[in-house]
Amino acid sequence: MKSYFFTQHSYKTQTQSSNILQQKITMSSYNQLSLFSTILLFLLLASILSAEKCHPDDKKTLFKIKKAFNNADMFASWTHDTDCCEWYLVSCDETTNRIISLSVNRDDEVAGHIPDTVGDLPYLEQLIFTDLPKLTGPIPQTISKLKNLKFLWLSHNNLTGSIPDFFGRLTKLTYINLSVNKLTGPIPPSVSSLHKLGALFLERNQLKGTIPASFGGFKNNPDFYLKLAKNQLYGPLPKSLGAVNFSVLDLNRNMFTGDASMLFGTNKGLQSIDISRNKFSFDLSKVRFPKELNVIELSHNMIYGSIPPTLAKQEHIQSFNVSYNRLCGKIPSSQELKSVDKYSYAHNKCLCGSPLPPCKK
């Protein structure tokens, strides 16, 4: 019996030891497998994270643009071993990973012409070259290939040549800013075919000619911004402009003539108008100001008549100037007009009343 007991006990002990060993082996294998899986997952994630998103064709085009600007320091982040979607000055679409924005601005080192290769970024929606004093030459024809372009900002450079007629074919454009350059020639009528355009800034160039009559086509563009100031534009305004719902209109320092009264009206959303320093001639007493109008700059013209009493009902007037015209009569009085000084009424035919001397009885 004793022998049998020890034999049975020994057998149980061996069995238990075997089970424990097997469990340890199993746990060890599981831990090794878990570690191996973790390493594979890490490598997979690292591979995904390190994979370049930028399309190779876009990357090649961007390197050509960099080379065209003599590898200026602004493009230092543009290197072969980095993802161009992460580069400074550009951005990619989150879905397609194609370049949709190129913004080169505020740099004295960037010199030369806008490279033709910008037209080889077919998904581009936003193109900005601004505040680059050494950027010269014409607006390249290749921009006409950018059928997805919505936002074009080429201001404060030294661009020359004319405004391209092809702009009218870029039907998705909502914003054009070519201000403060040395552009010459007329304003192409084709621009008015851009039915999504909300802002056209052409001020401070050397443009000549008249405002195209086709600009009345902007009548369906809500809250339109038009700035043509400080050019060499001339002639009467087309009557079709009266149908456009301007929010901001700036025509100052040109050589426009004739009637500009069609720009006003109580049913319009005009907030700011500057037609100063032209040769406009119309009866101001017949003008009715839009309710939201708060900037009214009419100085240095040949405007006649009197200041309409309805001006006193305008709310939130920020700026008002009718000096150097041919106005006569009493200046309307209101709380809103108290901030307007006498110089804003000076050099007229016979205006009177505060802040000028009292009217004669």
pLDDT (average), residues 104-130: 97
Reference 228, options 201, 259, 191; nearest CA is 201
Tell whether the model's pLDDT for residue 350 goes beyond 60.
yes
Reference 282, options 296, 264, 270; nearest CA is 264
Buried b (16+ CB within 10 A) or exposed e, 21-34: eeeeeeeeeeeeee
Q: Which residues contact 83 (CB under 8 A, 6 or more apart)?
A: 52, 53, 54
Q: Are 85 and 59 in contact (CB under 8 A)?
A: no
Q: What is the pLDDT of residue 113?
A: 98
pLDDT (average), residues 14-32: 53
pLDDT band at 138 (very low <50, low <70, confident <90, very high): very high
Q: What is the pTM of this model?
A: 0.85
pLDDT (average), residues 137-159: 98
Higher pLDDT, 128 or 337: 128
Q: What is the pLDDT of residue 44?
A: 45
> Rounded mean pLDDT of the chain?
89
Query: CA 162 to CA 144: how far, in whole Å?
Result: 15
Q: What is the pLDDT of residue 1?
A: 43
Tell whether the model's pLDDT for residue 11 goes beyond 50.
no
pLDDT band at 49 (very low <50, low <70, confident <90, very high): very low
Query: CA 257 to CA 262: how far, in whole Å?
Result: 13
Domains of the chain: 260-361 (3.80.10.10)
pLDDT (average), residues 288-313: 95
Tell whether the model's pLDDT for residue 29 goes beyond 60.
no
Tell whether the model's pLDDT for residue 335 goes beyond 90.
no
Q: What is the pLDDT of residue 47?
A: 40
Q: What is the pLDDT of residue 144?
A: 97
Q: What is the pLDDT of residue 153?
A: 98
